[in-house]
Amino acid sequence: MSGRLIGAAVALRFTALAVGSAGAAQEDGALIGRGKLLFTDQGCYGCHTAERMGTPIGPDLSRIGAKRDQTYLSRWLRDPSAQRPSAHMPKLQLTEAEVRALAAYLASLR
């Protein structure tokens, strides 16, 4: 293979990666947006604050993404008392899609 052909192949591969990354970023942004709406729709702000919104009864979640990853947050949202038996948070009735979206939003708070 000539140097030009190899260079073109490498450039094409990087372009494909960049386009794939942009698509993934858009999907992540949409998921986070849905999670933010769920934070309001599910009434999370009634006990928690996030982004200067809410009530400081429970923990402030404004920087929870810096402390916990999305996997942990998903487990927590599915069943808080399974993660910490002394948790005062109720078990929420969320679909898996809602858990993913809400966890993505919370993980984005840094």
16-64 tens-digit pLDDT:
555 556 777 888 999 999 999 999 999 999 999 999 999 999 999 999 9
Angle, in degrees to the nearest 10, between helices 96-108 and 70-78: 130
Residues ≥6 apart with Cβ < 8 Å to 64:
50, 73, 106, 107, 109
Distances (CA, A) of 28 to 37, 77, 88, 89, 90: 14, 19, 30, 26, 27
Dihedral in degrees, nearest 10, Cα atoms 29, 54, 107, 17: 10
β-sheet bridge partners, residue 50 = 53
pLDDT tier at 12, thresholds 50, 70, 90 = very low
